[in-house]
Structures are given as C-alpha cells and as structure tokens.
Amino acid sequence: MLAVGFGGMAGTLLRVWIYAAVPGAFSLWAVNIIGSFLIGFAVMKLSGKSAELRLFISTGLLGSFTTFSAFSNDWFRELESSVVAGAVYGVAMTAAAVAAAIAGLWLGRKGVRE
C-alpha cells in the first residue's frame, strides 16, 4: 500500500506541474497520452521486477499522473454542448491514449529478450 501511496503522491505532483506548464486543454491530453505511453513502456520494462516497484510505478505514479476523471468531466461538458463534438472528443482521447500505450509496449519490448 505504501508503494502505491507514495507513487500516487509523486504522480499527482507531476500532473499538477504539467497542468501549470501546458496551457488549457492540452494539459489533459499531455498527461493522458504521456502517461499511457509510459504505462505501456513500464509493463515491458518492469515485468521481472518486484511487485512493489511495479505497483509504485504503474499503479501509483503513472495511475495518478493520468486522469480519467478529468477526461470524463471534459467529455461530459463537450457532450452537453454538442453530441457530435462530445463523441469525437471521447473517441479521439481514447484512441490517442490506447495508441500511446501500444507504442509504449512496442518500444518497451525492444531490448527485452523473449
């Protein structure tokens, strides 16, 4: 639990830093896409490491760095103004995050001997 808690604290602070550094809605996209990429990468690179390290990095640090709740809030706001815009926003964010995670898995797999 401590590994997840300390990782979560660090990830939240990193997210706040990105929000301060990146203007407007781009900050949410940045944390979700970067975080998804890093989660995919971490899955490959940490596969043989301790459970505590994997929990610290994936669940704690990167899980709190990314934010589904802020995405949902923005998505619902978009849906209220326009169903089409909301649908496009939701599909685009989800597709971008999944593509980033796949890229992270792929890049993390390079150098991992099977």
Name residues whose C-beta falls within 8 Å of residue 5's C-beta, 6 or more positions apart in sequence. Answer: 60
Strand runs (DSSP E) across the chain, as ranges? Answer: none
Binding site annotation covers 94?
Answer: no
Name residues whose C-beta falls within 8 Å of residue 44's C-beta, 6 or more positions apart in sequence. Answer: 104, 105, 108, 109, 112
Binding site annotation covers 12?
Answer: no
Binding-site residue ranges: 63, 66
Binding-site residue ranges for Na(+): 63, 66
